[in-house]
A and B are shown apart, each in its own frame.
Chain A
Amino acid sequence: MVDSQLSYSFGSPLVLFDHVSSGYSGRKVLDDVSFRIDEPAVYVVLGPNGAGKTTLFRTLAGVLKPYSGRAEICGYSSESQEARAQLDYLTHIDGIPEGMSVLNALRFYAGIIGASEADIDKVIGMLGLSDLVAKRFGQLSQGQKKRVSVARIFLKEKKVYLLDEPTSNMDPKIAGEIRELVLGLSKNRVILYSSHNLFEAREIGSKVIAIKQGKLAMFGNISDIKTEKYTIGIRTLAAEDVPCAIGKEGDYHLFELQGPEEVSDLIAKLTGQGVQIREVKEMQNPLEELFK
């Protein structure tokens, strides 16, 4: 599955990572990672905390200089202005000054990337930020901050998007809306979307780039990921017994499934039986099992 023998004979892939080692202050976090992306799709970058997902993004975004190997966007070195013009990057932290109003924050970034007032108006409408534009960024809730942060990547169309945990700290409704927008973006574009939530990964992506301890553990179809056990917890509106649950942990009714692909069917079945579902979450990170 891992393409470790990349040659230099091919043309210009949309994204190329060729034997890249990268990290901080001389300490390698990514070690000899290679993959190439030729077709537009959502590529979910999976890996436990500390695996090197953010380092991979920072290297592709040209923020970190690789110690060795080549990182390219559309045939250009990731550190070049040509590559930067092709990609947008959403970091795992908001990156917006707390004292700035939402509108000024969008103007600030629009000024840097050369987007217009019309582009700002478009993203305000798209992300439903009309009520927030006059507020200072520091006054917003975590979910609202993330929405504003995400809005930046829609200011200008790019070929490649790097989204580092874009739905963290979001309530399920907003997270779902963001995923919808990302899916809308993915037509004719490459999106690298990091997550450590396999359920979310299955929902949004078809391809997976799995990182384990700085090495490429898997590059391929997300459907190829098999887990031995997949337990989810469902929190309901009422404190009632839920059919088919194997137990309860706190407020969560536990269900053991074959994999994330069965979650949607289970939710449909339970709601059909009148169960009012408030939240669905993975009770253990299946990636830990995947990366054993």
Chain B
Amino acid sequence: MTSFIRTNFRRAVSFGSVYLILAIVMSILVGGIFSWTASLSEDASLYVASQFPMMIPLFAVIGSFGGLMVFVSDRTKGVYEYLIAYGVSVYKIFWATLLVTLGLVTIFLGISLAGNMAILLLMGSQIQFSLIKLILIYTIPLCYASTAFMCIAGMMWSSLTVRVPGVNSPIGISALIGMLPVMVVYFLTLFGGLGGLSTSIWIIIGGVVLLLVILVIVMMIIANNKMNRERLLSDA
């Protein structure tokens, strides 16, 4: 199982490299714009600088497509028929894909946050505690929760639908599914208070993250108990 995950992680980085690089570049670019805007006005610096950590989960969803791409490709190519015949369960395949996706999020977050912090410092802004708090309580949990949700929903979609080649690829659907909770939290945060630092906003963020985690766990349980092995067979 470990070698399977390791191999698939390498493949996911390779498969999804374009998405990963684009997501990192875009997140740093957007973060840079926010940092530059914040540097123009001292009054608005906290509010504007706090926006970039809230945008990062959107890019994390895009940057972690590689895991799901490997899953869809392997299903189409009949790899899972072999794995199942060798005794690998549907649950293990789902779990491995989820771990690979979360690994991609870690790469994305590491580079994106480091890049954004560097730009913030270059612009002459200080890294305030509230920003660190926002990253720790908002950005990182939402990145992991939304991409995990995107990944499992994409695997479910891919496994349970009868596919017409090129028409209902789960990649596009998953992007929307993964971005939806991020957008919901973002707009609730905006409407809930400037900078999203009021107590009620933390409850909303925590609630959404918790809901996503519960949904991921429920879907994993369904995959373990209800998902027929035939669902992972190639249509070829």
Contact = CB atoms under 8 A, between A and B. Distances in A.
B233 to A, nearest CB: 7
Contacts of A128: none
Interface stretch (B3-11, B40-48, B210-218): B3-11
A63 B88 contact: no
A89 interface: yes
A225 B125 CA distance: 86
A65 B7 CA distance: 29
A96 B80 CA distance: 10
A181 interface: no
A58 B70 CA distance: 23
A281 interface: no
B77 A93 contact: yes
A93 B234 contact: yes
Given A63-B229, A63-B233, A97 B81 contact: no
B228 interface: yes
B129 interface: no
Contacts of B87: 62, 81, 84-85
Contact of A97 (B3, B79, B236): B79
Interface in B9-24: 11, 14-15
B11 A89 contact: no
B78 A94 contact: yes
B123 interface: no
A97 B85 contact: no
Interface in A113-155: 113, 152
B229 A61 contact: no
Nearest to A87: B85
Interface string A50-90: 00000000100111110000000000000001001101010
Interface stretch (A104-112, A189-197, A243-251, A258-266): A104-112
A91 B230 contact: no
Interface residues of B, number: 26
A65 B228 contact: yes
Contacts of A63: 81, 84-85, 229-230, 233
Nearest to A81: B87
Contact of A95 (B14, B81, B230): B81
Interface string A20-45: 00001100000000000000000000
B3 A25 contact: no
A62 B85 contact: yes
A97 B10 CA distance: 13
A275 interface: no
Contacts, number: 73
A87 B11 CA distance: 28
A8 B234 CA distance: 35
Given A98-B77, A112-B4, A93 B236 contact: yes
A97 B234 contact: no
A65 B82 contact: no
A100 interface: yes
A199 to B, nearest CB: 26
A94 B77 contact: yes
A172 interface: no
A93 B233 CA distance: 11
Contact of B11 (A62, A95, A100, A113): A100
A111 B3 contact: yes
Interface string B61-84: 000000000100110011101111
Contacts of A25: 230
A61 B78 CA distance: 14
Contact of B88 (A58, A94, A108, A112): A112
B11 A64 contact: no
B67 to A, nearest CB: 14
Contacts of B79: 95-97
Q: Which of A85, A98, A108 has the most CB of B within 10 A?
A: A108
Interface of A: 24-25, 58, 61-65, 81, 84-85, 87, 89, 91, 93-100, 104, 108-109, 111-113, 152
Given A62-B84, A63-B229, 16 more contacts: A58-B81, A58-B233, A61-B84, A61-B85, A62-B87, A63-B85, A87-B85, A89-B82, A93-B234, A95-B79, A95-B81, A97-B70, A97-B73, A97-B77, A112-B83, A152-B82
Query: What 6 A-B pairs are tightest by C-beta distance, nearest first?
Result: A111-B3, A93-B78, A95-B78, A61-B85, A89-B85, A84-B87
25 contacts: A25-B230, A58-B230, A58-B233, A63-B81, A63-B85, A63-B229, A89-B82, A89-B85, A91-B82, A93-B81, A94-B78, A95-B78, A96-B79, A97-B79, A98-B73, A98-B77, A99-B14, A99-B15, A104-B7, A108-B3, A112-B3, A112-B86, A112-B88, A113-B86, A152-B82
